[in-house]
């Protein structure tokens, strides 16, 4: 597979038209979505610690997957339901999203992550530290695992969100299930973040920033890998 073929697969597409919903409303939807992802995702770990193990890893994985599923149904038609800087960046790189809107989307996502973490801190105080994404293995293990987990997620997202042969109402189920699976498998080692905004908010509000670099770099890298992989296998009929 040569460079010309790869370039053709990526750049043969025209940029999508601007979305109908005004940008400020879409940014609000992205911020609200990420705030709720943090509140119910890392929040499940916070509540588990607050209530002496009320949530197992299976429960935390389910909470992360279900909130994504619900928010895609609730806000997908408003903002596209990116909720993740890696998703936004990958969509722009592979011409599924307007580049001019990347920075506003990412800013809204990080703001939402901070807002969600602030709500958890207001309710549970220092227990927020239990919701901070941290590696339990080595930094290298966690970095590599986050790349693989996010690549898997972005592979699914690129399929069900951009390929007309796969797009449908079940897209939210596929994405939510992948998030839950990733957290179930990766959570015990890397925390199963897959999302810089999801990890940065709790880390910033709690002051636990030592390991946040892993989750700011690895998930976007994995997202690009996943989007590229699906772009190469989708074929010319998509």
Domain ranges of the chain: 21-233
Q: In angstroms, rounded to a whole number, what is the distance separating the alpha carbons of residues 119 and 38?
A: 9
Do residues 182 and 194 lie in contact, with contact meaning Cβ atoms separated by under 8 Å?
yes
How confident is residue 7, by pLDDT bands cut at 50, 70 and 90?
Answer: low
* Nearest residue to 219 (alpha-carbon basis) of 149, 156, 158: 149
Residue showing tokens 């015990």: 188
DSSP string, 145-189: HHHHHHHHHHHHHHHHHH-TTT-STTHHHHHHHHHHHHHHHHHHH
Q: What fold does the segment set 21-233 form as a domain? A: Glycerol uptake facilitator protein (1.20.1080)
Q: In angstroms, rounded to a whole number, what is the distance separating the alpha carbons of residues 15 and 152?
A: 24
Per-residue model confidence as pLDDT tens digits over 37-86: 999 999 999 998 888 877 889 999 999 999 999 999 999 999 999 999 99
pTM for the predicted model, two decimal places: 0.91
Mean pLDDT for the stretch of residues 123-138: 95
Per-residue model confidence as pLDDT tens digits over 167-221: 677 899 999 999 999 999 999 999 999 999 999 999 999 999 999 999 999 999 9
């Amino acid at each position: 597979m040569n460079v010309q073929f790869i370039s053709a697969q990526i750049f043969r597409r025209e940029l999508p038209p601007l979305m109908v919903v005004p940008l400020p409303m879409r940014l609000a939807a992205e911020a609200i979505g990420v705030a709720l992802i943090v509140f119910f995702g890392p929040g499940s770990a916070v509540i588990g610690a607050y209530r002496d193990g009320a949530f197992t890893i299976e429960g935390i994985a389910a909470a992360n997957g279900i909130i994504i599923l619900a928010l895609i149904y609730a806000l997908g038609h408003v903002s596209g339901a990116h909720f993740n800087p890696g998703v936004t960046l990958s969509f722009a790189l592979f011409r599924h999203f307007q580049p001019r809107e990347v920075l506003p989307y990412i800013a809204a996502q990080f703001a939402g992550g901070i807002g969600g973490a602030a709500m958890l801190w207001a309710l549970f105080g220092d227990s927020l530290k239990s919701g901070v994404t941290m590696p339990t293995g080595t930094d290298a293990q966690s970095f590599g695992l986050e790349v693989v987990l996010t690549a898997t997620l972005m592979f699914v997202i690129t399929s069900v969100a951009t390929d007309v042969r796969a797009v449908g109402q079940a897209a939210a189920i596929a994405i939510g299930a992948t998030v839950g699976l990733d957290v179930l498998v990766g959570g015990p080692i890397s925390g199963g973040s897959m999302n810089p905004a999801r990890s940065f908010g709790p880390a910033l509000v709690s002051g636990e920033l030592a390991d946040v670099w892993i989750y700011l770099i690895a998930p976007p890298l994995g997202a690009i890998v996943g989007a590229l992989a699906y772009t190469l296998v989708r074929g010319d009929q998509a």
